[in-house]
Structure 1
């Protein structure tokens, strides 16, 4: 099978869309399929092209057997609605043009969160008369209004019409959550063409922690500390000011340290708050290359997974919970009750508290800090549960969806 995949995030970027696409594509190649990924110059989340890359019109390389085609786009930081729209639309155009020139294609796959990428995928499938599969990672543009980046308006309504057009035109929709599928069905999308393939974890890379990475421990002076980590994109949706408040409330406990590792639109806000409050128990770590993530995660005794208290985020499953399971790191989840909280509760891989509730997050940290038996129980449950979310299983399921569409 010749798979043409469009995504504006791909390694060396290390966010969830980039990781999911790469880890699936790697397994498809190993299964004997040809995979071409059309993407742009790596720049997420700072909006700066990574060292060693350029924002050129067209370049081709190979990554672990995956053909990677990079195209020129308008690049901006992950902030500001209009600039991001220009970014997305530029990739829609250049990605489409690049797709025209790929020699062999059996199926066209395009991924969100934003769906201008999916527009390009649909147009390519129409021109090349090949099936179009829409991988749905976010209910967009609803997520824009949910974080306050833009108010409901005529533009949002137009985007919603485009969104529904793509859902109806897709030959198959691969949703990353069951909640997204339910939402689409409520809005009149044919249930029979929606499949759910959850995010997962590469268990060859994310394995139970036996010791903390000594170089990171030494670099950040974390010897013999109980480390509570927020690792990943610092976005408007995460309400990270609440986590800073939690750290402030525990600043007198010298045995507990907090780390914020990553970058994004809300990173400056976090840095400014830490400096303003002069918090010495918070360590700020810059975004790390993807290959360093297991070492970075190894520092964490606990992982914090917050989202702001908005109804939309009941449908979201933060992908980092699966990496934490693979490494046996208990999760403290403070998100609106929904599919993600159900996973944590059912797998007993962490504690669930109320979204944006500083006191409850603090108490959950102290509970696991003080109760070593409970902490170890959750570690074991977390590790055992990781097998249910193996990336091998998820990649295989997507392949079966591609085959099903091709054989219609």
Structure 2
């Protein structure tokens, strides 16, 4: 099967969508399928072209995957107007690039971002090809939730287009059950929606001792490290973590680590400096090859989300990497998909979102109760196998094969 996949983000970028598409594609190729990815020049989240790349149309082979990169208007992950121009430019250039490729058997796109899906959808319609929409974010609802835009006539039009695409797709793959529930409530046929969650390649993330070089550079010794690893964005309300760290500033046995990049990175760094906090460390974004070393610095994986009902439907992919590393998860976010996984697996502690005092309290609890810590760590590690990337890749390819054979209306019954 020839698969044409649209995604604005792809390695060497390291966000959830890039990693998910890349790792699943490798499994599909091992099974004999051909995968071509239409993507942009790597620049996320800082809006700066990565070393070794130029912002122009180019092709490369990345670990057996055919990658087509298109020139786009590049903007950092902040400032909604410039970001939308970025998205629209990919929509147009991605469509034009796809026209140059060998005719595929199926077209697939993933979100976020939404306009990559528009490009794939339109290309499939114009060429009479089956199309599958992988839903990774309820956009544009999510941008309203973070306060980047207000509800308006334009957003109403986008939501209508969004719903049209779900209905037009031969099948939809939702990353969470809540996403599926949302679509069904809005009239999308339930049987055409398969739920395939995010996950982890457990062989990429193995429990390991603290990386000496990283720790030394960050002046981390034997402290109990609460690590937030990933995008430091508007959806994460991370100013509350600084408040928690300030509460614990006299406790020399505990420190917090922000490892990543994003719209809030500079703000968080400046706020830390302004408050004179020495118990917060910052590690800039690292390549995928170093992520196990980054995780090794952490004693606990902190997952933090803004207090919004929209985020009750999401599952941050970092929880699966943390499980594979054998780290307890401290989740501060709305009750929903993520809290259910953590509670069901016993892999961590869940607290209400944006409650820095409670966050500080639970950090101290984990640091001072080694029996509790060890129990959660063991359960976390044991849970990782439940979210195998290979199993999910096999499930998704089964859905794609069903769509190509004309059975997209019944993919919800397909099991991994």
TM-score range, shorter chain: over 0.9
SS in 2 for 1:238: coil
Q: Would you say the 8 A contact 1:109–1:135 is kept in 2?
A: yes
CA contact (8 A) 1:61 1:69 kept: yes
Name which of 304, 307, 311 aligns with 2:305. Answer: 307
Instruction: State the partner residue of 2:178.
Output: 179
Per-residue CA deviations over 1:121-140 (Å, capped at 9, x if unaligned) read 11111122211000100000
1:309 Cα shift? 0.7
Contact 2:8 2:113 in 1 (8 A): no
Report how far residue 208 of structure 1 moved.
2.1
Q: Which residue of 2 aligns with 1:104?
A: 103
Quick check: 1:8–1:117 contact (8 Å CA) kept in 2?
A: yes
The aligned counterpart of 1:127 is 126
Q: How far is 1:115 from its partner?
A: 1.6
Q: How does 1:213-362 map to 2 (within 5 A)?
A: 213-362=211-360
- How far residue 207 of structure 1 moved from its aligned partner, in angstroms, is 1.4
Partner of 2:19: 19
Distance 2:234 2:103 in 1: 40
Alpha-carbon distance between aligned partners in 2 of 1:279 and 1:244, rounded to the nearest angstrom: 9
DSSP 3-state at the match of 2:159: helix
Q: In the alignment, is residue 45 of structure 1 matched against residue 24 of structure 2?
A: no
The residue aligned with 1:377 is 375
Task: State the distance in 2 between where 1:60 and 1:147 align.
Answer: 35
Q: Is the 8 A contact 1:111 1:117 kept in 2?
A: yes
Structure 2 partner of 1:137: 136
Alpha-carbon distance between aligned partners in 1 of 2:352 and 2:52, rounded to the nearest angstrom? 43
Query: Number of residue pairs matched?
Result: 406
Q: Deviations over 1:288-308 (max 9, x none)?
A: 111111110110001110111
Would you say the 8 A contact 1:114–1:141 is kept in 2?
Answer: no
How far apart are residue 326 of structure 1 and its match?
A: 0.4
**TM-score normalised per structure 1:** 0.98
Could you tell me which runs of 5 or more consecutive residues in structure 2 were left unpaired when the two chains were aligned.
407-416
**TM-score, normalized by length of structure 2?**
0.97
Shift in Å, 1:253: 0.8
Deviation at 1:26, TM superposition (A): 0.9
- Distance of 2:84 and 2:219 partners within structure 1: 41
2 CA distance for matches of 1:338 and 1:258? 25
Name 1:151's counterpart in structure 2. 150
Does the CA-based 8 Å contact 1:2-1:33 persist in structure 2? yes
Matches within 5 A, 1:81-92: 81-92=80-91
**RMSD of the alignment, in Å?**
0.8
Indicate the SS of the match to 1:37: strand
How many angstroms apart in 2 are the aligned matches of 1:21 and 1:233? 18
| Matches of 2:220 and 2:149, distance apart in 1 | 40
Question: Which of 397, 400, 403 matches 2:401?
Answer: 403
Retained in 1: the 8 A contact 2:346–2:380?
A: yes
Distance in 2, Cα, partners of 1:294 & 1:2: 33
SS at match of 2:235: helix
Stretches of 4+ aligned residues off by more than 2 angstroms: none
Question: Tell me, what secondary structure is at the counterpart of 2:51?
Answer: coil
Residues of 2 paired with 1:130 and 1:400: CA distance? 18
Query: Hey, what's the Cα distance between the residues in 2 that align with 1:403 and 1:164?
Result: 24
Partner residue, 1:165: 164
CA distance in 2, matches of 1:63, 1:28: 14
SS in 2 for 1:328: coil
